[in-house]
Amino acid sequence: MRKFSISDIEGLIGIKAHTIRAWELRYNLVPAKRTHTNIRFYNEEDLRTLLNIAALNDHGYKISKIARMNLEVISDLVLQLKIDLNPESLQLMSLCKTMIAYDETEFVKLLNGCIAEMGLVKAMDLVIFPFMKKVGMLWQTGAIDPAHEHFASNLIRERIIIEINKVGEPQRATSKKFLLFLPEAEMHENGLLFARYLLKSRGHDSLYLGLETPYSDLKKVADSYRPDFAFTVLTSLNLGKNVNKIISKVMDHLNVPLLVAGSLISEFDILVQDRLTPLKNVRDMTDFLEYL
């Protein structure tokens, strides 16, 4: 069973370490376990309990009241919050909890419920993209394993593809052609798949090349397909410091306007270039397509 430090727990549930310690000291809530060398740690069951406590506390339940409840009552109340169409913060925490447990059934249920309630565009904006950003940060700090990220990403990927396949073929007379790709070393595909969904749902054509497209192939494909725009997404944290170099290299291999989205675009200063349009969030993406 995986062991978590208090800093891991802080990153996962968004509650400060000193607050977790105060809950333990004052109310004996989820006391930390200790190794044979007296190092404090929490296990997966502790994490699930703390996630539930944080969810109730976020919805107005006082810690003093939660401390008097048994674990079954706490779990039942959190389930009731889900039934009552919980807001985005609880959905995000719930996705984290089911990811940690590799609970595919519950993860898919949460994901499907979120999309059914909000629609894919709003769900991606308010829940799924923030969740994936949090997952990336947790993976970078070692709070979760790469397998957790792969588990969640693949289930989200499958659902986006389902939504894409629900959309009919483009039929508008003024449709544009988009070349969709991820550059070399970029392997996070869900943002690009979401772009494909947005384009298809708004009546545009797209050629989807997927992840890690060789730079040398871009010009060949663009010359053959003749797109009106190229579209890529930059998300991987290890690419952050080189984001402007990557964009410039992509543009050196293309002679069409380039749209660039992804978390790196919102976090780093993007150099102004001709033919380049940075899209910092979902609203930027939908606004661009609305006025196209």
Q: Is the pLDDT of residue 135 over 70?
A: yes
pLDDT at 104 over 80: yes
Averaged pLDDT score across all residues of the chain: 88
Residue 1 has pLDDT above 70, yes or no: no
**pLDDT tens digit sequence for 14-26:** 788 889 999 999 9
Count CA atoms within 13 Å of residue 148 on its CB side. 22
- The larger pLDDT score, comparing residue 265 to residue 239, is at 265
- What is the average pLDDT across 117-136? 91
Q: Which H or E element spans position 10?
A: helix 6-13
- Strand 229-233 with 177-180, pairing: parallel
Kindly report, residue by residue over 206-217, the tens digit of the pLDDT.
999 999 999 999
Is the pLDDT at 280 greater than 50, yes or no? yes
| pLDDT: which is higher, 90 or 184 | 184
Mean pLDDT confidence for 28-40 = 90
For the domain bounded by 169-290, which CATH number is listed?
3.40.50.280
> Is 80 exceeded by the pLDDT of residue 248?
yes
Query: What digits encode the pLDDT tens for the residues 152-201?
Result: 999 999 999 999 999 987 666 778 999 999 999 898 999 999 999 999 99
Q: Model confidence at 88, in pLDDT bands (50, 70, 90)?
A: low
- Strands 40-41 and 276-278, by their bridges, are unpaired
What pLDDT is stored for residue 85 in this prediction?
Answer: 42
CA distances to 59, 105, 177 from 219, rounded to whole Å, are 53, 43, 15
Encode pLDDT of 47-70 as tens digits: 888 888 888 888 889 999 999 999
* pLDDT at 86 (0 to 100): 47
Share of the chain above pLDDT 70, in %: 95
Question: How far lies 111's CA from each of 98, 117, 152, 162, 174, in Å?
Answer: 11, 10, 10, 12, 34
Structural domain boundaries in the chain: 6-164, 169-290
| CB-count exposure of residue 61 (10 Å: 0-12, 13-18, 19+) | middle
Query: Between residues 180 and 93, which one has the greater pLDDT?
Result: 180
Write b or e for each residue in 132-165: b if 16 or more Cβ atoms lie within 10 A of its Cβ, otherwise e.
bebbbebbeeebbeeebbebbbebbeebbeebbe
**Cα 61 from chain centre:** 28
pLDDT at 78: 78
